Amino acid sequence: MPSGGHGGRVRNTVSRVFNHILVVCTGNICRSPMAEALLRARLGRRVRQVASAGTGALVGFPADPLAVEVAAEHGLDLSAHRARQVALPLLSSADLILTLDQSHSDWLNRHYPQLRGRVHKLLRWCGNADVQDPYQRPRAAFVQAFTDIEAGVEDWLQRL
Q: How many residues does the chain have?
A: 160
Q: Quote the CA–CA distance of 28 and 63 in Å, as a whole number.
A: 7
Q: How far apart, in Å, are the Cα atoms of 146 and each of 31, 55, 71, 73, 86?
A: 8, 20, 8, 11, 22
What's residue 72's pLDDT?
99
pTM, 2 dp: 0.88
pLDDT in tens, the chain (160 residues): 444 444 444 344 344 468 899 999 999 999 999 999 999 999 988 888 999 999 999 999 999 999 999 999 999 999 999 999 999 999 999 999 999 999 999 999 999 999 989 999 999 988 889 999 999 999 999 999 999 999 999 999 988 7
Write out the catalytic residue numbers: 25, 31, 133
CATH homologous superfamily, domain 7-157: Response regulator (3.40.50.2300)
Cα–Cα distance for residue pair 78/31, rounded to 1 Å = 11
- Quote the pLDDT of residue 1: 40
Q: Which of 157, 11, 23, 13 is nearest to 83 (CA)?
A: 23
- What's the pLDDT score for residue 126? 87
SS (H, E, C) 13-44: HHHHHCCEEEEEECCCCCHHHHHHHHHHHHHH
